[in-house]
Amino acid sequence: MAEVETTTVPLNRAAEEVSSPWRDAWRTLRKNRMAMLGLGIIVFFVAVALLAPVIARYPYDEGELLNRNKPPSAEHWFGTDYNGRDMFSRIVYGARISLWVGTSSVIGSIVVGSLLGLLAGFYGRWIDMLISRIFDIMLAFPSILLAIAIVAILGPSLRNALLAIAIINVPTFGRLIRSRVMSLKEEEFVMAAKALGMTDARIIFHHLLPNSLAPIIVTGTLCVATAIIEAAALGFLGLGAQPPEPEWGKMLSDAKEYIQKAPWTMIFPGISIMLTVLGFNLVGDGLRDAIDPRMKN
């Protein structure tokens, strides 16, 4: 009787061969140099925001009038503003505000928009019509104009600016999830779940939502960059952060009168906004290429 030869695969090698969509997406993302550059920029600003008390050399809200509009020097690396406050310290602490507003507003938009999109796409009929008409009305207004109107009603403050930015981005995620759910609910695994007697809530949150995470993550990353710009725009108009909070858009607004006398007071906040937005855009584009199967060769 012939002996049957058996081959054994080492456990560590077998573990390496196990693949998943998210692991494949991470491998693809790591090969994207521009995405890694964007991720490095984001990590840098996050580290700056977390270590602000250690990095900042002076209090961001205290200044000396004798040091007004001083150019960059060894004492004040980014110079001083019109109140004699250290620009480097204000830029460092401003990273906290911009990142917090951008991420928090987008998370709020994702939660509300995804919930509305799931309901509209799954149940359809009058629920879909009602939610879709609300989205259409909101999208009929320019986003920044709608944000200005909301802040004008609630009153200028950083919290109200965050709320306004979250509201104007709800239709973006709502319509995205609605279209995704409408295509997924006709799939066989959803029909099988219904045949097994699963509740609607279980089907929505255990089957439809997990299969809709990829476009949410990509769109959410790109929307963080948009939210940072919108927060800066509201701050520039005086509707966002109020003095002495070191918000980058507000810093640009305060420095516009000194653009010829002290250009550094506008250059450094502007560069900070540009780099942060660039980082999130690069990562968002990289995630889209890595997650979307239509973008793969």
47 in Cβ contact with 39 (< 8 Å): no
- How much is the average pLDDT of 24-47? 86
Under a CB-based contact definition with an 8 Å cutoff, are residues 85 and 269 in contact? no
Contact 120, 243 (CB under 8 A): no
Positive/negative CA dihedral, 155, 276, 56, 88: negative
CA distances from residue 189 to 184, 198, 216 in whole angstroms, order as listed: 9, 12, 21
In this prediction the pTM is 0.83
Q: What domains sit in the chain, N to C, each tagged with a CATH number?
A: 24-295 (1.10.3720.10)
Summarised one tens digit per residue, pLDDT across range 167-193 is 999 999 999 998 888 888 777 777 887
Give residue 286's pLDDT.
83
pLDDT at 111 over 90: yes
Q: State the DSSP string of 57-96.
A: SS-TT-B-GGGTTPPP-SSSTT-B-TTSBBHHHHHHHHHH
Taking the C-alpha atoms of residue 273 and residue 268, their distance in angstroms, rounded to an integer, is 9
Compute CA distances 181 → 178, 213, 242, 275, whole Å. Answer: 5, 11, 41, 35
Residue 184 burial (CB count, 10 A): 17
Residue 274 has a pLDDT of 93
Per-residue pLDDT band for 15 (boundaries 50, 70, 90) equals: very low
Where do we find the tokens 């919290």?
Answer: 159
Mean pLDDT within 109-130? 89
Handedness of CA 292, 294, 295, 297 (dihedral sign): positive
Residue 46, token pair as written in the block: 């996050």
Where residue 22 falls among pLDDT bands split at 50, 70, 90?
Answer: low
